Amino acid sequence: MFTYHSASGASCSFEGPRAKIGQGRNGNKSREGGEKRLASTINAKAISLNDHLEKISYLARSLSDENRLRILLCVSEEKKSVNRVVDEVNLSQALVSHHLRELKRSLLVTTERSGPFVYYEMADARILTILEQLNLLATDLLAARKSF
């Protein structure tokens, strides 16, 4: 189990999943050894994540808007101008510009200027992988839920 303590004094605890029973040194079933190794691995990952929670939450906030996600997917395949993004996602030019500015600020898109036009493109292909994983997680977690 690990506990995160924020600067404001709030804390959050996490206990990872239980280890499966594994083989011990003597061929005996050893739950304790497997649990210790799993707990150690989870604790190491948690400590590593704990050092980066501010950065993670910053990116998560940038990904928390459905329109922003639609725009991000729109510019994932190739560079596109604001007008083209407006046409493809069917949002107002002002709203698309606002979201592109936020995506650029959070380094999720890059820009390229060509004359009077600015073209936007997804900054890193790993963003798509993260979105796919979030989709799988959301599908699994929400499958049993009846209402929101």
> pLDDT by residue (tens digit) across 89-121?
999 999 999 999 999 999 999 999 999 999 999
- Mean model confidence pLDDT for the chain: 79
Instruction: Count Cβ atoms below 10 Å from residue 23 Cβ, excluding itself.
Output: 11
- Sign of the Cα torsion 19, 24, 29, 33 reads negative
Q: Which domains does the chain have, with CATH numbers?
A: 2-51 (no CATH), 62-126 (1.10.10.10)
Rounded mean pLDDT, 8-22:
38
Split at pLDDT 50, 70, 90, the class of 53 is: confident
Give the tokens for residue 4. 């995160």
